[in-house]
Amino acid sequence: MKLLLILFLFSISSVADAALKNLVEEYLKSNSTVLKSKAQISTSFLNISSVEAQKIWSLSYAGKKEDDNLEQVSSFATRNTETTTHLLSLGKGFNWGGEFALNNTLIKYKAPTSAQASNGFVQGIKYTQDLGANFLGRSFYSELKAAEQTHDSTEAQVKHSLQSSLYGFATTYSQAKLNLSLLKLQEAALERAKRRKELIRKRVRDGLKEKVDLIQASIELLAAEEQVKTAQMRRKTSLEALSNALHRDVTRKEVEPFDARILDMRTIPVGNSSGNLEISTLEKKAQALKTSKDKVDYSFWPTVNAGLEYNVNDYDNQKSTAIDEGMLTGSRNATETILSLNAVWTFGNESQKIARAKNNIELKTTEMEKEKLKINFSKSEESLLAQLDLLEKNLKSVKERKDLASRALKEMTKLYNRGRADLDQVIRAEESLINTERNFIQYLAEREGMIFRLASLYGNLEEYLLK
């Protein structure tokens, strides 16, 4: 039986705080800071869609009407002409650097020498291929990859921000547990002070104790009441912090206090630097910067576009006939084929050089910061594990000390009742028990805080709290 009792008192639980788990789930769903951070991920994803949207189908229209009364170079040239032109174009860009366009031009031409207007229709297709910076779409794919990697970096950064926010919430809850536990200890001490005063009052009435003992017991009772009120204020402050985080009133019943009777300790989380969200953010940022560097390098290439265009047209007094015969599927042989090559060289490339220099500086800074963080990770991990080891030894020691202090108070109370000890000795034993119980609870809270820090370091705090 004694062995079972010892195993119960020193049980090590791997089950997470059920109350904390419920509040964490609510926090992740309702906290404004969390929701705002998650929205950043969606916004970042839109940047990828924005790059992809550059290659969608587009429809453009242009129209003009000309009334030409200008003097012509030759007396045989027609003056006072009226021309109405409508251009409708359907186009699409492709990832590989090509562009396709279907052009449709409707022309209405009227000369003063002609009684009837002439209608013309031109339909053509054009394909242009980038042979320079975006040859085979390398610049586009580089931009798309950079956008995807920037999204990954932003997502990792937001996750790190969310974890920091979650760590703050978890420590706030842990502080609320601590304050509620200390309040329960003070309430238990108050009840003992009340019983002690009542017992002494009866003994003074019976002439077994001196009146000064009753006065001293009254002083201790007032002090105990003050301590309870102070603990209540701290509890209210903690609940207020939780309420603000959840945007609603959090009651005392929703917080599970530390149990001063047992040594119930959370399991230590496991992990390594690969899960650290801060390091992961910098790694993804470095990848995005390397890809952006490729895009900058491509910008040094000249702009070279090769084009192939094929047009068909027809003119007729009847608009419908002009359209039918002027289409690519028409029967007329009025065709035009155009091969083109356009090239633009930029001398100096100063803007590209500046962009490359800025990218290199940011990349080197990111790589340096990442390496420093890896060093800090190792030191923080080593320190936290060492502190946890020492703290667990202290917890076992203070648990034993608390049991001894409780026994000492009981024995001292018996001696006082027999007249073999004075009230000061009982009060000192009472204070020793309260201080020891407070140390025990504070050690539990301190250990829980270190556990949360270690889980944050490994990047698995949310998983740890919700398991």
Segment 444-464 shows an average pLDDT of 93
d(CA 105, CA 320): 13
- Locate the domains of the chain by residue range: 2-30+146-287+359-466, 59-142+306-351
pLDDT tier at 49 (50, 70, 90 boundaries)? confident
Q: Which amino acid is at 124?
A: G
pLDDT at 460 over 90: yes
pLDDT at 44 over 50: yes
Return the percentage of the chain with pLDDT > 90, whole number: 33
Largest Cα–Cα separation, the chain: 143
pLDDT of residue 264: 65
d(CA 69, CA 82): 9
pLDDT of residue 79: 55
Apex CA 457: angle with CA 453 and CA 462, to 5°?
A: 75
H or E stretch covering 333: none
β-strand partners of 101:
91, 126
pLDDT tier at 33 (50, 70, 90 boundaries)? confident
Which CATH number applies to 2-30+146-287+359-466?
1.20.1600.10
pLDDT of residue 388: 93
Tokens standing for residue 208: 């077994």
Residue range 355-368, pLDDT digits in tens: 888 888 989 999 99
Cβ 433 vs Cβ 441: under 8 Å: no
Apex CA 165: angle with CA 160 and CA 168, to 5°?
A: 125
β-strand partners of 336:
311
pLDDT of residue 46: 79
pLDDT tier at 37 (50, 70, 90 boundaries)? confident
Q: How many CB atoms lie within 10 A of CB 430?
A: 21
Residue range 287-315, pLDDT digits in tens: 888 887 777 777 777 788 899 999 888 88
pLDDT of residue 7: 43
H or E stretch covering 69: none
Residue range 192-206, pLDDT digits in tens: 889 888 988 888 888
pLDDT tier at 69 (50, 70, 90 boundaries)? low
Edge-first strand order for the sheet with 57-68 is 57-68, 81-93, 98-110, 118-130, 303-316, 335-344
pLDDT tier at 428 (50, 70, 90 boundaries)? confident
d(CA 8, CA 253): 25
pLDDT at 380 over 90: yes
Question: Which tops the pLDDT comparison, 264 or 79?
Answer: 264
Per-residue b or e along 174-211, where b marks 16 or more CB atoms closer than 10 Å to that residue's CB: bbbbbbbbbbbbbebbbebbeebbeebbebbeeeebee
Tokens standing for residue 87: 């251009």
Out of 64-68, 125-129, 286-290, 415-419, pick the least confident.
64-68
SS3 4: helix
Out of 74-83, 275-284, 369-378, pick the least confident.
74-83
d(CA 425, CA 246): 47
